[in-house]
A and B are shown apart, each in its own frame.
Chain A
Amino acid sequence: MMSKAKQENIGFFKSKLKQLLADKLSANKFVVIHNKEIQGVFDTFESAITDAANRFPADEFVVQEVVDESQNVNYLFVAS
């Protein structure tokens, strides 16, 4: 279950996604968000999660990929 702090960070990310996609410095990269602020932009998920894990409590930050998810072909089998 996602904490309230994480949910707020997701909401912040969604509100800024269009802007982040338009910016060449953040498009197709990974952003660390804590306290509804972007705390870093990284080329890889691994560097983003390693940095965030050592700076913030585990249940407070999120790492999001700045991509247009509608462009991904991702079709899963699910049970229900």
Chain B
Amino acid sequence: MAHVHHLNLGLQVGKDPSGNPVTAVRQSPLALMRQGFNLSVEVATATAFVQKQPDPVPLKTITLIGHFDTGASQTSIDQKVATHLNLIPTGQATIRTAGGAKGVDTFVIDIAFVNTGLRTIRNLRINSCDLGFNLDRHAQNPNDVTNFGILIGRDIMSLWNVTWHGPTSTVFISD
């Protein structure tokens, strides 16, 4: 079992009524409200294909930002990430977006949660979609939370105990 404690603290610098400098460390709901909850994940070719006999598929990995999305029943990867990893489609599914319902390819991956101790999930079935992920921007700044490549859906959340404390932008996860 692992526990993850994700806390955002803000430093406030100002002056008191008499003009003396004052600094304070404060908690705020803004971080979770504006950016949501994002964590670094390693996405890899699925164990089922890497260990396939005969003709194992070469292992490829990428570490990128995953964005929590309680609206997604299934975890979904940006199509450009799927192409980058040479993922092989395993089927099709239907997703709903603001633009309506559409059929998308499904894939299988292994996913690990970097520096958390949370259990790696192997042979996870995922959907694909267009998240606007940019590989060049990712290469320049892999920690840019506005450039996420995968939506963490309720299929993964259902394996975890997640506590979301909005007023302090704090998230606890245990598995």
Contact = CB atoms under 8 A, between A and B. Distances in A.
Q: Do A and B come from one complex?
A: yes
Interface string A67-80: 00100111111111
Interface size, A (range): 20 to 34
Given A6-B89, A45-B123, A63-B91, A79 B131 contact: yes
B131 A77 contact: yes
A50 B48 contact: yes
A46 B46 CA distance: 10
B119 to A, nearest CB: 14
A46 B89 CA distance: 15
A49 B97 contact: no
Interface in A41-64: 45-46, 49-50, 53-54, 57-59, 62-64
B16 interface: no
B95 A49 contact: no
A13 B91 CA distance: 10
Given A6-B89, A63-B90, A76 B72 contact: yes
> Range of interface residues on chain B?
35 or more
A2 interface: yes
B94 interface: yes
B88 A58 contact: yes
A73 B37 CA distance: 21
- Which 8 A-B pairs give the minimum distances between C-beta atoms? A79-B132, A74-B73, A75-B71, A62-B91, A46-B123, A53-B48, A53-B52, A78-B97
Interface of A: 1-2, 6, 10, 13, 45-46, 49-50, 53-54, 57-59, 62-65, 69, 72-80
Interface of B: 46, 48-49, 52-53, 55, 57, 69, 71-74, 76, 88-99, 105, 108, 122-123, 125, 127, 129-132, 151
Given A2-B92, A76-B71, 12 more contacts: A6-B91, A13-B91, A63-B90, A65-B125, A73-B71, A74-B72, A74-B74, A75-B71, A76-B96, A76-B97, A78-B130, A79-B131
